[in-house]
Each structure stands twice: as C-alpha cells, then as structure tokens.
Structure 1
Amino acid sequence: MIFIDLENNPPPQDWIDRADALTQQLIAAPTIVAKNVIIDANQALWNELKDHLSALSNQKCWYTESINAGAHCHVDHFRPKKEVVEEDGNITDGYWWLAFDWMNYRFSGPAPNVRKRSYFQVVANRALIYGDNCNIEDILFIDPIKVRDPECLAFDNEGRVKPKETVKTARNYKRADYSIRRLNLNAPSLIDQRKDKFRKASILLMQLDKKIQLQSVTWDQSRENEIEIGFRELIQMCSKNSEFSAAVKFCLKSSTYAWALEIVNAAA
C-alpha cells in the first residue's frame, strides 16, 4: 500500500453535480429502505469513476499494489454505504450519505474488496447519522489516502505483509493487523508476487554493494556503468507506478547499505 493523493484529483464537475443531486435525494428519502433503493438504482454512477481512480495508481489496487491484469476490479466504498459489520458481528446502518461521495471511493482488486465487504471497525466517535463528523472517527482500517497510514505496514523476505509496530497492544499494531486480515493482504497469490519482488531487490542490492566496494579500491568505467544500470532498475522498482513498490522500498530501507536510501529518495 502506498499513499494515493485522491483529494487533489477530483472527478469531472459534471459527475460531482450528478452525485450531489443523488445525495440530496438520499437525504430526503424517509427510510433506510428508500435510501437503499436509490443507492441500488444508481450503482453505475460510481463505476463511471473506475478509470479515473485506477489512473491515480497506474492501474494498481490501492490496497495491495497489484495490477490484477484481467481481473474484475472494484470501486470500493471505504466506509460501507448500506451496512456496517463490526468485529463482534454487530450490524448497524451504513454511511448512506457517502454512497455518492468520491472521497469515499478506493480502487480495489478483488482479493481485498471481497474480503472487506461491509466490515468497518470504529474504535471511538462513530458517525451514526448524516451530519456526524467522520473525520473524528478512530478507525482500524489503514487508509491509502492518508499520508502516514501506509507506513504502518512492513514486509518480510517471504512476501508477507506484517505490522511495522511490534508491540501488540499498540494502536498501530492493531490497525495494521486488522487491515491485513480484513483486506486479505496476505492472499497466497499476493505473497508469491511480493516475494519475487523482494528477493529480486535483495539480490540486486548485494550485487551492487560488491561493485561499489570494488570501485573504492579500483575505479572502473565498465563497473560504474553496471552500477548506474542497477541503480536505475531499483529506482524503477521503487516507483509509485510499479507493483509492490512499498515492499521494495521496505527492503532497501531495511538493508545495511547507506546508499540504498539514496535510491528510495530518488524514487520518491
């Protein structure tokens, strides 16, 4: 998962106007049943934004960083629109007033969206009715449109995602653990692909470090060219447009090579 700057990339004004009109209909609808009828009848509206949202991440799922070529990707309602399922199984009304709010959309591959469904755990300050402030909710899900949230995740050389925080009672450990489970971030296919990227980066790091050490002893232009090619390859792997770039960056940051941070910074 990497940060996605959704806020500064709104959809066309025509779409926003149509969405706002539907939201006003939802507000006026007298019952939850009536509101759900409006939502169900207008699902095509949020699907209009699928290309717009996917373009913000080079077609990568915002949760997994997988491109999911050929798969049926989704426009996920981050805060569920019709019902909310809590960890204890309790079900309450959803955030119906956000059904046509583009800031509530996340581009999702099938693995996380199918598992996520209507789960959304709020620790405190739950917004229960229209007009309540969602911005003060203390939520467990890590959100890709929040700058600091993706940094709660770490990766190992077997391709698994894990909490970066190691204290299990800490808030960020709980958020990472919940998100990994509920977004299916360790689905077998994702682990395999992430493992390949992590190992490729690890091998390239070791190869480059040997060459860099040799350069400090005897400088060689051919070797310098090889180092340049290796640096460029790692920069590309760290690029926000590349699959599993967060895992590659974590690999570089976790290495013992001080120069690896230069690559991470160059790819930013």
Structure 2
Amino acid sequence: MNGLTPVNTPATPDFPGWIPWTEQQWQEWLSRSRLYNRRLTELHNAGDFETRNEYINARSTHWGRLKEWLKVLSYGKCWFSEVRDLYSHYDVEHFRPKAKSKSTDGTERDAYWWLAFDYTNYRLCGNVGNRKKGNWFPLRVGSLVSSFQTQNEESEEPYLLDPADADDVSLISFDEEGKAVPSPGATEWETMRVEETIKRLKLNEHNDLAEARRKVWLDVSTEIDEYLKHKARCNNGGNPVAREKVRAHCVNIRNMTLPNAELSSVARWCVMFRNDPQLSRLVA
C-alpha cells in the first residue's frame, strides 16, 4: 500500500467534521441500513443468494452517501494510495467483499454480505486500485473464516492490509525510487501480505503514483540536506541567518510529513531513513 495513513474510523459520529448531516439524517441512514440487513437475512435464509446479491448492488447509492465522510477522515486522500487525484476517482469500497470472496488461487466463496451496509467496512479507494482488487480477499491458510452464523472478522488473518488498522499500516514502507516495500523487520507472513497487497492494488504498477512518491522523497531529502547544512553553521557560533534557515527547513519537513499532506508516509520514511534522532523528532 502506497503510504497508508492510519485512519481511526469512529464508532459513532459524535466528532467534529463527521459528516454534513443532522443527527436525524444520520439515524435515518442507520435505520435504513438495518432495514436492508433484515431483508438480506431473509433472502439468505431462503437460499436465494442471487437475489440477495442483486439486492445489495441495487442499493450502492446508500454507501455512496458516506463518501464525503470518508474523505474527511483521510484529509481527502485515498486510504490506500494516500493521494487525492492521481489514483483516479474515488470509490466507497467494501474492505471485505459483499458478494463473492476470491482467494489467491482464484477460487471463490460466499462473501461478507451482512457487512454490505455496515459503514465500518467501508474504505475510500481510488478506482485504479479498487478495480484491480475486485472481490479479492484471501485469508491465510488455516485462518478462521467469518460467516453469518459465526461472525468473527477480528479473528481472520487476511492478506489485504487494512488502512484503518495502524498495525497493518506500519508493515509498509517506501524507498528512494518511489516503490512501496515491506518494512524492515517484517516477518515472512507480513512480507507476503505487503507484497500481495502492493500487487493487487497496483501500488507500484501505477507508474504515475511511483513517480509522485519519488518526487516527494527527493523534495524531503533536499530539505533535510539544507537543514543539516545550516544547522552545522549554527553550531559554529551565533549565526542568526543560519538559525532562521534551520527553522524554515524544519517547518517544510514537518509540513510534508503531516497527515493532511499527500504521500506523507513517504515523507516520514525519508526522514527515518536518515536515522538521525534530531530529524526524527521533527516528525514525532
């Protein structure tokens, strides 16, 4: 994943900037979700899976209404690629697929239809990655598998990294060539997850995205070099001009690593790559 930023999806909408709705409108959305879920359960229990899936697809505008909220949570950035426009138009994608779930070998199983109208299963994704992902959601061999009868999604071991999970976000890093790579120290399973996610979401295959990362890395690296140069001049005695330059470059570095900046994770990795404690404090 291309610079995933941890996103704290709230359990309730009681925080600033949640969504430009009134409380009544939000409750109406939740009420409609419950209504849809009851109908899905009826269709599922009747064994009419085809109609169940058609029912979900015919109501895609329901989750589409939350797109602006999802954009607020990520400062307008795609949750997977961490860019705004470069990864194409946004989709409200279901992290766990709603119709069919496809494994690494192409085999399919029934998906997580009961999460079709559950906003905690929504992620904001540019359609470059979402089109490639499709129904892809394989689990580790031997993983528990959640079902409608036994819903235990938290116990599953999926390949796909989740941008709303801070632990998953920490598994991916970047290099000076603009490539997404496994973080140093990743285990074999963690490395497999990162590599499969990168491939499935076209996080390196999309050339413009890799080039944008490379440019961010270069820009941050240039700022760091200037910061270190002027800092060295300050250490040799009083130099107000050099001190002002140091402050200016500190601000530039910090701004590129803030969550609201595009590809801020790339910028943070560039800083960490220098392995300089004083630089690291700039982005703490």
**TM-score (norm. length: structure 2):** 0.89
Deviation at 1:72, TM superposition (A): 2.0
Deviation at 1:52, TM superposition (A): 0.7
Deviation at 1:49, TM superposition (A): 0.4
1:19 partnered with 2:37:
no
Distance, in Å, in 1 between the alignment partners of 2:276 and 2:232 is 11
Distance, in Å, in 2 between the alignment partners of 1:165 and 1:129 is 37
Deviation at 1:99, TM superposition (A): 0.5
Distance, in Å, in 2 between the alignment partners of 1:95 and 1:220 is 63
Aligned runs of 1:1-268 on 2, under 5 Å? 1-8=4-11, 10=13, 12-29=26-43, 30=46, 31-68=48-85, 71-123=88-140, 124-165=143-184, 170-186=188-204, 187-265=206-284
The letter for the 1-side match of 2:77 is: K
CA deviation vs aligned residue, 1:42-92 (integer Å, no higher than 9, x gap): 111000001110111111000010101694210010000000111011011
Distance, in Å, in 2 between the alignment partners of 1:8 and 1:35 is 27
The letter for the 1-side match of 2:33 is: A
Tell me: CA distance 1:234–1:36, structure 2 relative to 1, closer, same or farther (3 Å). Answer: same
The 8 Å contact of residues 84 and 93 in structure 1, kept in 2 or not, is answered as: yes
Aligned length: 264
The 8 Å contact of residues 165 and 173 in structure 1, kept in 2 or not, is answered as: no
SS in 1 for 2:268: helix
Distance, in Å, in 2 between the alignment partners of 1:130 and 1:44 is 27
Tell me: CA distance 1:182–1:234, structure 2 relative to 1, closer, same or farther (3 Å). Answer: same
The 8 Å contact of residues 90 and 127 in structure 2, kept in 1 or not, is answered as: yes
Distance, in Å, in 1 between the alignment partners of 2:166 and 2:87 is 29
The 8 Å contact of residues 61 and 107 in structure 1, kept in 2 or not, is answered as: yes
Structure 1 residues not aligned, in runs of 5+: none
Distance, in Å, in 2 between the alignment partners of 1:70 and 1:64 is 7
The letter for the 2-side match of 1:7 is: P
CA RMSD of aligned residues (A): 1.6
Distance, in Å, in 1 between the alignment partners of 2:151 and 2:7 is 25
CA deviation vs aligned residue, 1:120-168 (integer Å, no higher than 9, x gap): 011110113344211100111111111211110111101010111466x
SS in 1 for 2:166: coil
**TM-score (norm. length: structure 1):** 0.94
Distance, in Å, in 2 between the alignment partners of 1:28 and 1:238 is 48
The letter for the 1-side match of 2:90 is: C
Segment of structure 1 superposing worse, 169-178 or 54-63: 169-178
The 8 Å contact of residues 120 and 141 in structure 1, kept in 2 or not, is answered as: yes
Deviation at 1:213, TM superposition (A): 1.2
Tell me: CA distance 1:26–1:163, structure 2 relative to 1, closer, same or farther (3 Å). Answer: same
User: Percent of counterpart pairs with the same letter?
Assistant: 26
